[in-house]
Each structure stands twice: as C-alpha cells, then as structure tokens.
C-alpha cells in the first residue's frame, strides 16, 4: 500500500503543514487544546475520532499530535487526479465509499494499525448540517473490535459555528478541543459490541447551539447568512421551495418578501419562527415527508452535470442537462442523452460537499453536480431517502445516539 511506503515523508509533511494551520487558528480563533495527555505515544497505534461539524475538522483534530494521521475520506475526494495525489501521497488518506461496505478500506486500516499508525475517522459518517450530532454509522463498533486499538475522541466547541457545512464564508469564533480516551486497547478487544457502541453514543452527543447559549461567543464577519439556502430551502412564511436567497447577514424569500437575519451569535433573529436552525431543519424535513405523500409527477428538478466512473477512480462528464426526481426514479435529461436510475437499484446515496449528489448504480459511481449558485444536494438527499424508505425523523435518529 503506497501510503505505508513513504512514512518518513508523511511525518515531515504533517509537521510542515500543521504549523501554519495552528498559527492561523491560534490568532483567528484562539484555539485551545486540552487533554493531550490522553493521546498515546509516538509508536502506539490508535483510532482518532471526533465531532464532525465542519470541513476544518480533520485539520483541527490533527492539532493534538505531530504524527501523520491516515484519515478515512469520502472517495469523492479521489476522483480528481490532483486531489488523488494530494490525498494519498501527501496526506496518506484512505478512500472509503460512503454508505457502502468496503473491504479494501478495512484492510488498509488494519495495515496502518499493524505499523503503529493513527487512523482518523468520524463515527457519524458525514458532517452535520445543523450543529447537532447525527446517528452513528452502523457497524462502527465492529470496526473497533476488528482493529483492537485504543479509541481517542476529540470533543469540539465553536468549530461548527466558525465554518458550518453550508457556509460560503469563514466566521471565526473562539474554538476549544478536548481529547479523551473512550476505549482502551484491552477494552476494544474484550468489551461486548453493545458496550462499545454505548461508549461511542455517549461520546458523540453534542449540540453546538446549546453550547453557544451556555457560553456565548460572537462570530466575526459580515456574511453570517451566506450559503444558508444550501441547507434551508423552504420558506417558513409562504412554505414555497427554492425561493430563499442569502446575502450578508440576511436570508430572504424572493417569492413572498420574508426576511430573516442571522445575529452575531449565529442564531436566527428573535422574530423568526424557529429558535435555531435545527428546529427549522426538522420542520423542513417533515414538509418534504408531506410532499412525498401527495404523489406529484415530479418532486425535484435542477440543472446539473452528470459524471460517471468506477468507485474511487476518476469520473468523466456524461452530459449537461436537467436531473428530475420522480416517485420511483431519477432521470437525467441531456441534450443528446438520457439516463434513468430506478431508486430501488441505487445504493450508497450521499451528498459530497454541498452540491454533489452521489450514488452507486450497476457497480458504477454517478455524481449529479447541481449548477445553482448555492446548490442544495441536501434537499435531494432527504427527498430521495424519503422515497426510498430510508429516511428517519431526526428526533428519532438522535434518540438512537443517546
């Protein structure tokens, strides 16, 4: 495996790249690091986990050690030749197909552990959109039993609010991270799977907005609302979809004229119907559930580009056109080509970044690249899961993780 053949280079690169990042975070966000004593020594393998609320997470979590970390990364990061080189040769990352079993990734992790390396993994599988924990990826406890190495968890405060998944602008806030050993190597080999899962459930519980209420810290910047329509796409006033637009501190509806301001603490203004964006998201998902029960001929449609390739390999453009979601299928209409994807034959559905909808079909990986200014792959993900019978109410999902 290539990543294990250049271990000294990975070590040098890890030190070089982390120093300027640490200085930047120290000055912009006054990053505080606690619990370093819980991080194993230089020669010991361990599994590093953490909260996942921002694209910054792998960099911030890495601040606890100077050793290279082999992060488990979505295979969407490896389809571009330049990114593939950076991820594998410079970062030593391990590609993993989201929401799909992947034996090669397991064997790569085992090889890293056997050589005393660090494996980085976010147990929820993807970034939160709303600042609260998501349900654990099924089988994470089996992975820990398989590796039989300690599990160190990185708890974060302020990271989500500094750069949410939906945001297009940095909004620096004071950050604090704390490392905790939640499972020792001996426990990884001897605890029951249910006991391992209980430890993980306890570790992943967080609510960034609740922390912000208890310890309010202002966000820097004048663009705190920009990008929100990637996440919030139904107006709570007129209840129409795809009319929300963000600019600066405001999100407004071009259909009814309703305006919502994001205040300096990151909350919606007091005059709005939801006290935080989690409640808005909860209402929004239930609105999509109601839409699914009305059985219209078309649920969603967006201008897009369609790409196809083998999993973890470079994908090629198939055409530019329109993606249309019906009750039982996704249809891509190009200028000279058409693809039909029955929902019952789709696996591995996920959102890459914010505007790419990815899935496996006939052993090939397809990517729908939405073309809007602030595209909402999240909207497609929720609606597809509802129609595929895979959706769970967020309140029920959170209960499973508690």
Does the predicted TM-score (pTM) go above 0.95? Answer: no
Tell me: pLDDT of 401 over 60. no
pLDDT at 74: 74
Q: Can you give the pLDDT at residue 312? A: 75
Binned at pLDDT 50, 70 and 90, residue 4 comes out as: very low
> What does the mean pLDDT of the chain come to?
89
Residue 229 CA to residue 252 CA, distance in Å, equals 10
pLDDT tens-digit profile of 310-351? Answer: 887 888 999 999 999 999 999 999 988 999 999 999 998 999
Q: Looking at per-residue confidence, does 280 or 85 come out higher? A: 280
pLDDT tens readout for residues 114-166: 889 999 999 998 899 999 998 898 899 999 999 999 999 999 999 999 999 99
Q: What pLDDT does 3 receive?
A: 44
Flag whether pLDDT at 217 surpasses 70.
yes
User: What was the pLDDT predicted at 222?
Assistant: 94
3-state secondary structure the chain: CHHHCCHHHHHHHHHHHHHHHHHHHHHHHCCEEECHHHCCCCCCCEEEEECCCCCCHHHHHHHHCCCCEEEEEEHHHHCCHHHHHHHHHHCCCEEECCCCCCHHHHHHHHHHHHCCCEEEECCCCCCCCCCECCCCCCCHHHHHHHHCCCEEEEEEECHHHHCCCCCCCCCCCCCEEEEEEEECHHHHHHCCHHHHHHHHHHHHCCEHHHHHHHCCCCCCCCCCCCCHHHCCCECCCCCCECCEEEECCEEEECCCCCEEEECCCCCECCCCCCCCHHHHHHHHHHHHHHHHCCCCCCCEEEEEEEEEECCCCCCEEEEEEEEEECCCEEEEEECCCEEEEEHHHCEEEEEECCCEEEEEECCEEEEEEECCCCCCHHHHHHHHHHHHCCCCCHHHHHHHCC
Q: Average of pLDDT values for 168-194? A: 95
pLDDT for 43 beyond 80: yes
* pLDDT exceeds cutoff 70 at 399: no
Whether 60 shows a pLDDT value over 50: the answer reads: yes
| Domain range 300-400, its CATH number among 2.30.29.30, 3.40.50.300, 3.30.470.20, 2.60.120.10 | 2.30.29.30
Task: Please report the pLDDT score of residue 193 as a whole number.
Answer: 97
For residue 25, pLDDT over 60 is answered with: yes
| Residue 1 scores a pLDDT above 50 | no
Q: Would you kindly state where each structural domain of the chain is located, as residue ranges?
A: 2-214, 229-292, 300-400
How far are the Cα atoms of 3, 27, 130, 305 from residue 276, in angstroms, in the given order? 42, 28, 9, 33
At 170, the pLDDT band (50, 70, 90 cuts) reads: confident
CATH topology of domain 2-214: Glycerol-3-phosphate (1)-acyltransferase (3.40.1130)
């Amino acid at each position: 495996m290539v990543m294990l053949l250049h271990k000294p280079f990975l070590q040098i690169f890890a030190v070089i790249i982390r120093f300027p990042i640490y200085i930047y975070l120290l000055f912009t966000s006054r990053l505080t690091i606690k619990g370093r004593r819980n991080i194993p020594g230089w020669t010991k393998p361990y599994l590093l986990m953490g909260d996942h609320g921002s694209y910054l997470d792998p960099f911030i979590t890495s601040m606890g050690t100077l050793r290279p970390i082999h992060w488990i990364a979505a295979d969407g990061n490896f389809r571009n030749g330049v990114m593939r080189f950076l991820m594998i040769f410079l970062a030593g990352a391990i590609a993993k197909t989201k929401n799909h079993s992947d034996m090669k990734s397991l064997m790569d992790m085992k090889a890293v552990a056997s050589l005393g390396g660090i494996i980085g993994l976010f147990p929820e599988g993807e970034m939160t959109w709303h600042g609260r924990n998501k349900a654990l990826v099924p089988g994470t406890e089996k992975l820990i039993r398989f590796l039989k190495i300690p599990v160190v968890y990185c708890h974060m405060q302020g990271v989500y609010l500094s750069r949410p998944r939906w945001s297009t602008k940095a909004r620096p806030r004071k950050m604090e991270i704390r490392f905790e050993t939640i499972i020792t190597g001996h426990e990884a080999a001897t605890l029951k799977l249910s006991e391992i899962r209980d430890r993980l459930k306890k570790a992943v519980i967080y609510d960034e907005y609740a922390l912000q209420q208890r310890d309010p810290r202002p966000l820097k910047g004048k663009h705190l609302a920009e990008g929100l329509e990637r996440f919030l796409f139904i107006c709570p006033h007129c209840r129409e979809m795809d009319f929300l637009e963000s600019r600066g501190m405001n999100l407004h509806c071009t259909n009814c004229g309703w305006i919502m301001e994001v205040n300096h603490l990151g909350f919606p203004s007091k005059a709005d119907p939801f006290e935080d964006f989690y409640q808005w998201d909860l209402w929004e998902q239930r609105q999509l559930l109601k839409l699914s029960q009305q059985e219209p001929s078309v649920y969603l449609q967006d201008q897009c580009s369609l790409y196809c390739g083998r999993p973890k390999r470079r994908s090629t453009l198939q055409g530019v056109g329109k993606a249309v979601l019906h009750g039982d299928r996704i249809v891509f209409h190009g200028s000279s080509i058409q693809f039909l994807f029955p929902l019952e034959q789709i696996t591995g559905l996920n959102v890459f970044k914010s505007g790419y909808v990815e899935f496996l079909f006939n052993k090939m990986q397809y990517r729908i690249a939405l073309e809007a200014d602030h595209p909402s792959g999240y909207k497609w993900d929720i609606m597809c899961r509802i129609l595929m019978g895979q959706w769970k109410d967020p309140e029920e999902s959170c209960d499973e993780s508690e």
